[in-house]
Chain A
Amino acid sequence: MNKPGKDIEKRERIVNRIARELRDGFYVNLGIGMPTLVANCVPVGMEVILQSENGMLGIGPYPIEGQEDADLINAGKETVTEMPGTSYFSSADSFAMIRGGHVDLSVLGAMEVDEAGNLANWMIPGKMVKGMGGAMDLVAGARRVVVAMEHTTREGAPKILKKCTLPLTGVKVVDTIVTEMAYIRVTERGLVLEEVAPGLTAEDVQRATGARLIVSESLKVMES
C-alpha cells in the first residue's frame, strides 16, 4: 500500500530529476499537478521562462497572501505572480508559440506511455470525460516532451506499456519518461533505460514495466 509520505518522496525524486533537464534560457510549459512543482527546483542562477497556455510568459511564484489578483492565474487556475519581463497574449497566440515549436520543453503527466512514445493522459472510457485542455497541442508542438509520472498505478500495474490501451493524446510524441524508479529515453529502437533510482537494479525496473527495456551501456544511478 502507498503511504502519503512515500508519495511525497516519489514526487520529489521525479521533480528533482526533471529539473536537471532545464537549461539556461529555456522556455518551458509545466502541466497541472506534479509537473508544476518543477518550478520550485530551478537551479540557482539559471533563468527559465515559464509559459502558461492561458496566455502568459514569465510565471512567478504564488502571490503573498492578500496580493492575489483574479486576472492573474496559471493554466491550473491558480493565482500566480509575474516575473520581470513578463508578457501576456491571447490563447491563439499562446498555442501558435506552442505548435510553432517555440517552447523548448513540455512536462506533463500520463496515465500510459508506450514504447513508440505514444501518450494517453486525458480519457478513460466509461468515465466522464473532462476534456484534453491544451495537452494534445503541447505534445504535438513542444520541441521536447518529458512525461512525469509514477512508474505504476496505485494497484501496481505498469503504466509503461508495449502499446497504450487508453485513447491517445498524441502519437509518437514522448521523448523522455521520468518516474520514481527510472529515467527512460524513447528512441527509434525502443525504450532505453538510462538511469535507475538508488537501490534498484535494471531488473527491478523491468519487472514494473510492461514493455521491454533496452538497458543503456552507460546505465547510471538517478541523481536527484
Chain B
Amino acid sequence: MNKVVASAEEAIRDVGDGSVIMLGGFGLCGIPENLIRALVKKGSKNLTTISNNAGVDGFGVGLLLAAWQIRRHIGTYVGENKLLESMVLAGKVELDLVPQGTFSERIRAAGAGIPAFFTPTGVGTVVAEDKETREFDGRPYVMERWLKADFAFVRAWKGDRMGNLVYRKTARNFNPIMATAAKVTIAEVEHLVEAGELDGDLVHTPSVYVKRIFQGELYEGRIEKRTVRKSTT
C-alpha cells in the first residue's frame, strides 16, 4: 500500500469549487501550510472552511480569505483576522461561530458515526437557540449535530507511506479528529518515513483515516505571539 503523492498540488487535484474543507491547526500552530499554499494557487472558489481560527492576515487560512476563495467559515475564534472582520461586515463571507468543545465534539462525532449528541455547553445562550434541549438527571443539555467535510487537510510531524500519523506537542490540536471526519483526508508531514519506522503503540492517527500523504516543505513555523523570559543563570 502506498498513499504517497508527489506534491500538495497532486494531493488536492479533485478539490472543486464549493468544497467543504476542514483545516487542522490552532492559531498558526499545526496548520497544513503546504496544502493551503496549493489551494491558493489552484484558486478553487465558494469554499466552506472548517477551522478553529481563520489564520492571520496574510498567513494560514488568511491566505484563502485574501484570495476571496471562502464563502463560509465555521470556527470558534477569529479575533486575529481583520480581513475576515471586514468581509463578514460587508456580507462577503458567512461566519458560523461554535463553542470550541462543541466544535471538536461535532467533528469527533462525525468521524465516529454519531449523528448527534447532547452537551451542557451553551444551554440558555444564543448557541442553543432553535435546538432541541433535553434534561438528563436534572440538568439541561442541548443537542448538537455532527460536522463533516469533503476534505480534511491535516499536518503531522511524522507519517509513513500507509498514512499512519504522529503529531508533535500542541501542533496536534484538531488534526487527529479532522482526519476522521472527511470523505478524503490528506496529510502533509514534516517527515515522511517507511512503513514500520513508526512505533505502532505511539501512532496518533491510524492509517485507515488517511487517503493521501506527502512530504511537506518550506515550513515557516511562524509564531503568533512570541513570549519569552530572561535566562535565570
Contact = CB atoms under 8 A, between A and B. Distances in A.
Asked if chains A and B come from one complex, the reply is yes
Contacts of A78: 225-227
Contact of B107 (A92, A134, A168): A92
B227 A62 contact: yes
Contacts of A91: 26, 52, 100, 103-104, 173-174, 177
Contacts, number: 179
- Interface size on A, as a range, is 35 or more
A113 interface: no
A167 to B, nearest CB: 5
B21 interface: no
A67 B95 CA distance: 36
A131 B95 CA distance: 10
B102 A73 contact: no
Contacts of A110: none
B120 interface: yes
Interface stretch (A41-49, A51-59, A184-192, A207-215): A51-59
Given A68-B223, A79-B227, A128 B89 contact: yes
A74 B126 CA distance: 27
Interface in A128-177: 128-137, 140-141, 167-171
Contact of B229 (A63, A95, A132): A63
A8 B127 CA distance: 35
A interface majority secondary structure: loop
B17 interface: no
Interface in A77-130: 77-80, 82, 88-92, 94-96, 98-99, 123, 128-130
Nearest to B157: A71
Contacts of A129: 95, 97
A70 interface: yes
Contact of B228 (A64, A167, A169): A64
Given A77-B28, A80-B227, A71 B171 contact: yes
Q: Which 8 A-B pairs have the closest CB atoms?
A: A137-B101, A95-B101, A171-B124, A130-B79, A131-B77, A70-B221, A136-B99, A134-B100
Interface of A: 52-56, 61-66, 68-80, 82, 88-92, 94-96, 98-99, 123, 128-137, 140-141, 167-171
